[in-house]
C-alpha cells in the first residue's frame, strides 16, 4: 500500500453472525479503530421512528441525514459497549439496539438516497487510518478496496440464540421463535434488495462461526491480517 499507516479490514455477515464482537476483539489486538457501519443506519432509524417518519418515505429519510448529527466514537462507558453512538449529542449506544429498530432498519437502509447520503461519511471514517469495519456491504460497496475482507456466517438457529441472549442481557424478553422469524425476514430482505444486497465479496474469506469460540475466530482473522503490508511491516519492526 502507498500509505503504510492505513489499512481497512471489512467484516461482513448477517445479523448475529458475530461481526460486532469479533470486530471489536480484532480492533483491540491490532490497535485499530472499530467503526460499525450498521450503527449509523440504526441511529437514523431511531431518529425516524422518534419523529414519526415512515421507513418507506425515502425523501424524508434523506432529509433527516442533513439535519441530524450522528457520530460514532471510541467507548466512554464501561458497560460492554465497543463504541459510542450519539445523536445530536445524546448517547443512544444501546437504544439503537432495541427490537423496534431491528424491525425497521433494513427497510430504511434499502433506500438509495439513504445509502448514498451516508456513504461519504462511512468512507471518510474508513479511510482515516487503521480501521476495522463490520457491516453487511462493507467489502462490496462501502470499501470495495479493503485490504482484507471477511464474511462471517452462522446457522439461523445459532444466530437467533445469540440475539435472544443479547436482548436478555438488556432485560428484553422475546421468544426464540420470534427472534428466529424476525431474523429470517431480515435476512431475506437484506439479501434480496436490488440496491447493495447483503452478500459476500468475491474475494472475501468466508468463516462459519457455528461452534467456534470468539478467540478462535479472532485469532484466524488476526493471522490473515499479517498479510497486510502495513501490519506486516509493523510486526517486522517490532521483532527487530
The predicted-structure confidence for 141-189, as pLDDT tens digits, reads as follows 999 999 999 999 999 999 999 999 989 988 999 999 999 999 999 899 8
Q: Which three cell numbers stand for residue 147?
A: 485490504
- For residue 240, what pLDDT is reported? 47
Dist. CA 44–CA 51, nearest whole Å = 11
Which pLDDT band, with edges at 50, 70 and 90, does 232 fall under?
low
Q: Specify whether the CB–CB gap between 84 and 72 falls below 8 A.
A: yes
Q: Specify whether the CB–CB gap between 91 and 85 falls below 8 A.
A: yes
Dist. CA 8–CA 27, nearest whole Å = 11
Q: Which three cell numbers stand for residue 77?
A: 462507558
pLDDT of residue 238 exceeding 60, the answer is: no
Give the predicted TM-score (pTM) of the model: 0.78
**Three-state DSSP class for residue 15:** coil
pLDDT of residue 55 exceeding 70, the answer is: yes
pLDDT tens digit sequence for 127-138: 888 999 999 999
CA 1 to chain centre: 24
Half-sphere exposure of 190 (CA within 13 A, CB side): 23
pLDDT of residue 231 exceeding 80, the answer is: no
- For residue 50, what pLDDT is reported? 97
- Domain definitions of the chain by residue range: 7-229
Dist. CA 115–CA 96, nearest whole Å = 18
pLDDT tens digit sequence for 3-44: 457 899 999 999 899 998 999 999 999 999 899 888 999 999
pLDDT tens digit sequence for 60-118: 999 999 999 998 888 899 998 888 999 999 999 999 999 899 999 989 998 999 999 99
* Whole-number Cα distances in Å, 11 to 8, 36, 52, 198: 10, 9, 32, 12
Which pLDDT band, with edges at 50, 70 and 90, does 234 fall under?
low
Longest dimension (CA), the chain: 59
**Three-state DSSP class for residue 56:** coil
- For residue 5, what pLDDT is reported? 76
Q: Specify whether the CB–CB gap between 1 and 196 falls below 8 A.
A: no
**Three-state DSSP class for residue 201:** coil
Domain 7-229: which CATH class?
alpha beta
Task: Provide the terminal-to-terminal Cα distance of the chain, rounded to the nearest Å.
Answer: 21
Amino acid at each position: 500500500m502507498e500509505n503504510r499507516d492505513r489499512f481497512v479490514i471489512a467484516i461482513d455477515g448477517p445479523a448475529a453472525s458475530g461481526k460486532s464482537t469479533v470486530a471489536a476483539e480484532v480492533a483491540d489486538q491490532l490497535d485499530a479503530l472499530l467503526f460499525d457501519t450498521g450503527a449509523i443506519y440504526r441511529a437514523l432509524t431511531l431518529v425516524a421512528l422518534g419523529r414519526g417518519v415512515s421507513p418507506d418515505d425515502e425523501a424524508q429519510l434523506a432529509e433527516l441525514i442533513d439535519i441530524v448529527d450522528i457520530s460514532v466514537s471510541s467507548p466512554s462507558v464501561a458497560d460492554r459497549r465497543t463504541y459510542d453512538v450519539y445523536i445530536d449529542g445524546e448517547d443512544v449506544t444501546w437504544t439503537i439496539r432495541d427490537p423496534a429498530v431491528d424491525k425497521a432498519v433494513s427497510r430504511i437502509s434499502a433506500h438509495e438516497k439513504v445509502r448514498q447520503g451516508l456513504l461519504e461519511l462511512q468512507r471518510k471514517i474508513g479511510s482515516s487510518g487503521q480501521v476495522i469495519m463490520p457491516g453487511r456491504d462493507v467489502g462490496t460497496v462501502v470499501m470495495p478496496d479493503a485490504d482484507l475482507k471477511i464474511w462471517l456466517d452462522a446457522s439461523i438457529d445459532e444466530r437467533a440464540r445469540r440475539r435472544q441472549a443479547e436482548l436478555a442481557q438488556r432485560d428484553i424478553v422475546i421468544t426464540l421463535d420470534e427472534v428466529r422469524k424476525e431474523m429470517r425476514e431480515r435476512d431475506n430482505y437484506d439479501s434480496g434488495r436490488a440496491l447493495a444486497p447483503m452478500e459476500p465479496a468475491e474475494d472475501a474469506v468466508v468463516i462459519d462461526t457455528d461452534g467456534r469460540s470468539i478467540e478462535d475466530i479472532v485469532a484466524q482473522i488476526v493471522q490473515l491480517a499479517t498479510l497486510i503490508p502495513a501490519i506486516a511491516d509493523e510486526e517486522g519492526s517490532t521483532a527487530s
